[in-house]
Structure 1
């Protein structure tokens, strides 16, 4: 397996609205990102992924695009983008954009035209279906954000499909003109020098003929069997690769929603010539059964190990994946999987050690490098996320949850947790803006911020920097054959890796208690590549791990 630049690279995801505001309007912007490029470079990451920056009415914070070749007014101008791209490349970094090709905004000119009449030239850019015999929606499909996935248009007396909000109509990829529109938009940005795309919900672009009703089982299964992996998805992706991606020094990263490990190779195996890599949801949703605010299961470390192993085995030697445990759609990494209290620092370091030593490209999300945590929103008036707002409204209407219960669930799993503004300093508004921030800033910003950690050698921030530097110099962190250690242990995660004559052993304590591990090798301090504590207690083969301790040993040939 060739370790190309995009496979070896570490991705740093930026949610522009919440990163850094230079204009003073309370919303992060492109100039704000440019201002922080030296900081980003200092993290030892390689690729910047920007969540959508295109023109949008922001019903879903940019994932509803009204012009694929224009910049959102709140974020700046095209010249601001050109400067950002140039300055990014000057620092030896790459930049990828978030391509939303399954749907657009209902304020896009395509949809405005499509609504005018059934004969409009843009009508077939979308999915229009006659009402059912009772006048209702054509089938029982539900939106990801609650309610029906169909919206009735009185003017033309048909329903249109929107798997997300009603202001995000799904594009009809069966129409070759639609595909060419998307390809032209991709070429526009690639010709500017962009280094690739993260592709939002791309497995959903091919719809099943006849729009059959969804079976009566959990929503995650419906996504896999009904919404994703449609009959022509691989044909479309192969065409996209042939006509666009392969003609540039660029790569494609798919959001693998609805894709399980059995199907992964169809998307990312090299001989398929479709996508360069994907990130899956099995880790991100390992405690979620059928919906973010519905059934939950307790965190199970053995299950997490199984997920990593299944996905590693699914593409080993044939394809590639990206590993992420945090992004803009999920609650904060350390709040979900670590310990926000006594072992906040240790658990944050342990989690990134685990991620950075898994096979595949590493993706980290802004703020996780300083251990940002979930926020406490006091009422629905403070919530900005459309998914959480819709859940709250449905809960009040159905009386399934009280307002207190609904807010508790939103504060635990809602997307606003990951979208609170970046905490740069102890200054007002965490140094994010001089204006009124678009979303509440976490109250803990005076103790958790970049400035406080920057010169602290023991900080989470400097641990990330050190770990990612070591990762750059050791390909075995990125890829290799893996031997699991004590696999069924639910508080300890250990494994050995080997690649091209180099080896490492990774030991991770996932508990708040000491754990003693007996190694089959006699280890010494000289073998330690990185350790998230000041010291290690060991006696030859016996290694005593402190709560949430993470150690990576170098193994001799």
Structure 2
């Protein structure tokens, strides 16, 4: 696909719908609420909104337990509300990406209700059922990602079913062609309504080892880690046959013009890039979460970028992510000053950037009182800091009660700092982090070097990370100080430059000599001359 394809040059913005905007006062965000904020998204400058699951669900895992893939849960609205949302988004030039959850359904899905009704039911093989081990114990040692065994005993049919997450989320059997057909038909249902693509949840989990062999122990496991790390997930995920499934999904999307397939994949780089598929027949964008898990250190990040660029298959388009609904916010990980540097990093690297709602206003770590905890993972494994509620708290829109998110009681508490951290106020502060993000997005649109240009690393030392972005005759240098001490460095090839943007938003237009001074916690974008 050409480099001007929308999902290559554009910016994706993830919305966790429960927490973006509530329109009816029940304390939970909804589709009408998202519609109310489309003008903000246009002003901000993003190209596509990705909405986390809105399907009919009992909400055991807040929408990632789907009971009907072709319906909207009443919490969020109706199919008519969805149609209005996508129509209005498209009218404003915005693309819309849906979350798709194919690895498992809710245990309330009619398919599972049929499957568990009898061993002879035609849908029995739609899920993964196993007899007890010869000694009467569990079928194997596979662990749920949320703690405990991944096998749940069904008294009525005297077999175990497999659940990689909650017992309320039984895994589908993707080796069954009828399952594949049903799920691809669900994709077409939304594609026919105009959806521009899908982010596919835990795509690397879809196929399990055919022999259900025990996973080997993880010799590096520590007691303070999540229980899932007790074993290496050699047989319960990332099986070779999964790539056939991903290619089939890709072919479904190719029945429609310019759709995008994004895969959620938490794997090392050498395994991650295999999800582009042979001859790029897999996911368009296998999500690259490496920045989330790499230490915030200039040398390590520089090595990571080079390793990723080198690992990409020919023609594979890169992508970068700083945070999402499952991971601590970037502001919580690196602090408010470096969060500005991180914004410049995300929006100047080669590839498609995905932003997470609220990062643009600097939401950091939100403490959730024990009585307000909602996340089932935190409830299953308390005390390990695994809860995902802190990154799912409501968006801050203004300084009013509940920050304009709801007129009711929000489903999760707001960050108590919201009176000084909200969209309305930050729009009026010329040097705020919100205005920095907006200016970076503007600059990215103005300079093709930043969106589709080549990436060239620049050797540096210490806390400075630097690289060039090049398109035709244009050369832009990005220099990021990831430390607290000022640094001086030389521009490459004896060039001079002109500062286009500073993370402090207090520089722009100044010319430089061959030597550039970086203040602490500062990033610069410099147009190179000569």
Question: Is 1:486 matched up with 2:459?
Answer: yes
For 1:126 and 1:86, locate their aligned partners in 2 and report how far apart those are by CA, in whole Å: 36
For 2:231 and 2:200, locate their aligned partners in 1 and report how far apart those are by CA, in whole Å: 21
Question: Is 1:63 matched up with 2:54?
Answer: no
Q: Offset at 1:391? A: 1.4
Asked if structure 1 preserves the Cα contact closer than 8 Å seen for 2:458 and 2:492, the reply is no
Question: Is 1:283 matched up with 2:254?
Answer: no
For 2:471 and 2:233, locate their aligned partners in 1 and report how far apart those are by CA, in whole Å: 34
Output one character per residue of 1:267-296: Cα deviation in whole Å (capped at 9) or x when no partner. Answer: 215723121111123222235xxxxxxxxx
SS class of match (1:306): helix
Written as runs of structure 1 = structure 2, the 5 A alignment for 1:210-249 is 210-217=211-218, 225-249=234-258
Partner of 1:255: 264
For 1:435 and 1:522, locate their aligned partners in 2 and report how far apart those are by CA, in whole Å: 60
SS class of match (2:192): helix
SS class of match (1:283): helix
Asked if structure 2 preserves the Cα contact closer than 8 Å seen for 1:269 and 1:315, the reply is no
Output one character per residue of 1:220-260: Cα deviation in whole Å (capped at 9) or x when no partner. Answer: 696663333213111112222224444343110111223x3
Q: 1:530 aligns with which of 501, 511, 527?
A: 501
Q: Offset at 1:39? A: 0.1
Q: Offset at 1:350? A: 1.2
Deviates more, 1:172-181 or 1:128-137: 128-137
Deviates more, 1:313-322 or 1:204-213: 313-322
For 2:51 and 2:422, locate their aligned partners in 1 and report how far apart those are by CA, in whole Å: 21
Partner of 2:490: 518
Output one character per residue of 1:309-364: Cα deviation in whole Å (capped at 9) or x when no partner. Answer: 2112211642123210111001111111x22xxxx2x4222111011111210100
Change (3 A) 1:105 1:363: same
Question: Is 1:465 matched up with 2:435?
Answer: no
Partner of 1:370: 361
Question: Is 1:447 matched up with 2:424?
Answer: no
Written as runs of structure 1 = structure 2, the 5 A alignment for 1:319-358 is 319-336=316-333, 338-339=334-335, 344=336, 346-358=337-349
Asked if structure 2 preserves the Cα contact closer than 8 Å seen for 1:270 and 1:276, the reply is no
Partner of 1:271: 279
Change (3 A) 1:42 1:316: farther
Q: 1:318 aligns with which of 315, 320, 329?
A: 315
For 1:516 and 1:431, locate their aligned partners in 2 and report how far apart those are by CA, in whole Å: 44
Change (3 A) 1:69 1:509: same
Partner of 1:292: none
SS class of match (2:290): coil
SS class of match (2:274): helix
Q: Offset at 1:494? A: 1.0
Asked if structure 2 preserves the Cα contact closer than 8 Å seen for 1:21 and 1:27, the reply is yes
For 2:232 and 2:253, locate their aligned partners in 1 and report how far apart those are by CA, in whole Å: 28
Asked if structure 1 preserves the Cα contact closer than 8 Å seen for 2:247 and 2:277, the reply is no
Question: Is 1:498 matched up with 2:470?
Answer: yes
TM-score, normalisation: structure 1 = 0.89
Deviates more, 1:151-160 or 1:471-480: 471-480
Q: How many residues align?
A: 519
Deviates more, 1:174-183 or 1:529-538: 529-538
Q: Offset at 1:47? A: 0.6
Q: Offset at 1:515? A: 1.8
Written as runs of structure 1 = structure 2, the 5 A alignment for 1:28-427 is 28-217=29-218, 225-258=234-267, 260-268=268-276, 271-286=279-294, 299-315=296-312, 317-336=314-333, 338-339=334-335, 344=336, 346-378=337-369, 380-392=370-382, 406=383, 410=385, 414-427=387-400
Q: Offset at 1:486? A: 3.5
Change (3 A) 1:145 1:279: same
Asked if structure 2 preserves the Cα contact closer than 8 Å seen for 1:31 and 1:76, the reply is yes
SS class of match (1:73): coil
For 2:341 and 2:251, locate their aligned partners in 1 and report how far apart those are by CA, in whole Å: 41
For 1:470 and 1:278, locate their aligned partners in 2 and report how far apart those are by CA, in whole Å: 26
Output one character per residue of 1:80-128: Cα deviation in whole Å (capped at 9) or x when no partner. Answer: 1111101100100000100001111111001111111111111111000
Q: Point out where structure 1 has 5 or more consecutive residues left out of the alignment.
A: 288-298, 393-405
Q: Offset at 1:485? A: 2.8
Partner of 2:17: 16
SS class of match (1:110): helix
Deviates more, 1:223-232 or 1:516-525: 516-525
